[in-house]
Amino acid sequence: MPALNGRIYELTDFPMEHQIRRLSIHCASATADIDSDLTIALFASVVKASAEVGVVYRLDTEAGLLEVVARQSTLTSPVTDFDTTLSGAASHWIEDLTEPVQGKPSRDQLFQELPEVTQHGLGCMLVAPLRGVGGLLGILTLGRRSESCEFDADAVGIARRSASLLSASIERDSLQQKLQERKLMERAKGILQSRRRLSEHQAYLFLRSESRRRRLPMVDLAREIIETQFRGPSGRRSRDPKKPAG
């Protein structure tokens, strides 16, 4: 059984799967920019820890989703898209992580469910939690193919420091995204107030109602309203009134 968080875990330590949520994992070809802070920090951690594979997952708490936002590999294995769902035990273990832990997937069941293990045939894994003020933001995984090449104390320290940098970057990006979404919402409400002669509160209620009816996130609905404003009734993009003609 894996030694995690300074103690020995048995699978019976975890609640039954139906009693806790199960995290989904999503990885698409389009991940972080090669020049992004996430990619640079990940590349540095892979090199310094002498790992062969590194992956940064960002946690969407509301959706219960771990999304791959950066990945690095020195191996020739093809990188493929994938979607999978972790078991309840593995999901609970990840959400409970507070310190970097390592294990051998061939012996430690909880590590076996990480997609990069199967994809790259990893024999040794190091998993570090990315934690911020509000809780878990995601995880950093580092892997090696050989089971005999365990990560030493220096590599664990590198993973811990890298996790701190990655957490700060994710929190900053999240704040920027929220600010951008707020701007979109305010602009969409302004359009609705003008078009439908609504108050600001009525415009918000309209957005919320349409979002639920169409099962579309409010920010996506806001983008749609703004784009429609510029296209105009004919579907053609109309001139932005803030820009001069010509």
DSSP state letters, 56-75? EEEEETTTTEEEEEEEEESS
* 21 vs 232 pLDDT, higher one: 21
Residue 35 scores a pLDDT above 50: yes
Question: What is the enclosing helix (H) or strand (E) of 114?
Answer: none
Looking at residue 10, what is its pLDDT? 46
Instruction: Look up residue 16 and give its DSSP letter.
Output: P
What is the spatial distance between Cα 48 and Cα 5, in angstroms, rounded to a whole number? 23
What is the gyration radius of the CA atoms in the chain, in angstroms?
22
What is the reported pTM? 0.68
Token code pair at residue 18: 């139906």
Mean pLDDT of the chain: 83
Distance of CA 229 to the CA centre of its chain: 32
Per-residue pLDDT averaged across 139-165, rounded? 95
Between these two residues, 236 and 227, which has the higher pLDDT value?
227
